[in-house]
Amino acid sequence: MLRYYAAASAIVVVAILILLALPRPHPDVPSGPQYHGGPGTPRPGGNDPDPRASESVGGVAPWALSAVPECFHQESEAHGPAAFVAARLPAEARRLPPGSTLAAADCTLAVGTDTLTLRRGAEHLIVPPQTRAYALSERLAVLRLAGAKSDLRVYRRVSGGRP
């Protein structure tokens, strides 16, 4: 009888190990259906009231400033509990008020109430809610709160076209 218990236990352990080895989705990636509010079928370009609208790139991205090293060069980052990350915020940082804008190379960063919008030509990226921007001379600190965890990234603004 012990032989059957040992075999059943081995099967359960192997099944658990297999389930743990399978890839799991990242917690920040939404699961389930994602709906798009745009038209279902594309029209010919001649009917488009703004031809640049179909060429623009946009989206919601917590890493938006890291995606344009021509404008912002990431120097450091900290992730973890809010108290840990807040301690990493440079002492000379002053919070940028909503409605202010910041220029770096050919990018413009607009500070909203709790979001940031990065515009570069036809591209626009939005850093999701619960985001605060802090100015530090030629650097910028972006603090994003996500529940009990926080994310702090410090960037150097690019004045020409190189970091």
Q: Kindly report the average pLDDT of the chain as a whole number.
A: 80
Q: CA separation (Å) from 158 to 24, 115, 132?
A: 37, 21, 20
Q: CA separation (Å) from 31 to 22, 62, 85, 130, 146?
A: 17, 17, 28, 21, 18
- Say if 65 falls within a structural domain: yes
- Say if 86 falls within a structural domain: yes
Confidence of residue 31 (pLDDT cuts 50, 70, 90): low
Asked whether the whole model's pTM tops 0.95, one would answer no
- Say if 19 falls within a structural domain: no
- Say if 98 falls within a structural domain: yes
- Say if 16 falls within a structural domain: no
First-to-final CA distance of the chain: 71
Q: What is the pLDDT of residue 48?
A: 45
Reference 104, options 154, 63, 153, 138; nearest CA is: 138
- Interval 93-138: pLDDT, tens: 999 999 999 888 888 989 998 888 988 888 888 888 888 999 988 8
Containing structural domain, residue 121:
56-157
Confidence of residue 32 (pLDDT cuts 50, 70, 90): low
Reference 86, options 117, 132, 138, 139; nearest CA is: 132
The whole-angstrom separation of Cα 94 and Cα 90 is 9
pLDDT of 30 above 70? no
- Say if 85 falls within a structural domain: yes
- Say if 123 falls within a structural domain: yes
**What is the number of domains present in the chain?**
1
- Say what percent of the chain tops pLDDT 90: 20
Query: For 48-62, 67-81, 109-123, which range has the lowest pLDDT when averaged over its residues?
Result: 48-62
Show the DSSP H helices in the chain as ranges: 2-21, 82-87
- Say if 114 falls within a structural domain: yes
